[in-house]
Amino acid sequence: MKRQMKKWLGIFAAAFICFSPVSALAAETDTPLTITSGLDLECEEAECTFSEARIVYGEAEPDTWITFKVSVPDQNGEPEEIFSDEFSVGSLGLFSATLPLEMGYNYVTLTAELDGSDETAVEVTIKRVPQKVKKQLQRMIALPGMTAEP
């Protein structure tokens, strides 16, 4: 009986560790914040998507103020804000936001601030690509070892 109990306890502990979300910001800032899906905070390159919106889910301490801003380059290459949303995290500590994306590069800025702690700020770049590119990619067949002839 004890052996079976230890086995289940070990399985539960392994599952808890494997499936718990990783917080890219919790260790390095005073305002702990975890993005559970929607944004890859560790990606240094622009992430590509075909979608016109991105839903972001996360966790933070209750009463943390979260701000999302989305900017795109204008004709001169300067960032122009197209979206801004600010809200307080509820008592459960969960939040979500839907971010609109325009064609091309979208610069997403996420800030979080809890009373009495420093503000946390993170920037992520998402490149929205036209649907026709997706359709072209779906028609292509890639075979290992096949290369284009010069």
pLDDT tens digits along 39-86: 888 888 889 898 999 999 999 999 999 999 999 999 998 999 999 999
Q: What is the mean pLDDT of residues 127-144?
A: 74
Answer whether residue 14 is part of any domain: no
Number of structural domains in the chain: 1
Answer whether residue 146 is part of any domain: no
CATH number of the domain encompassing residue 98: 2.60.40.2550
Q: What pLDDT does residue 145 have?
A: 63
pTM: 0.69
pLDDT tens digits along 86-119: 999 999 999 999 999 999 999 999 999 998 788 8
Label residue 148 by pLDDT band (50, 70, 90): low
Q: Rounded to an integer, what distance in angstroms lies between the CA atom of residue 79 and that of residue 136?
A: 30
* Cα–Cα nearest to 83, from 99, 95, 63, 60: 99
Owning domain of residue 42: 20-139
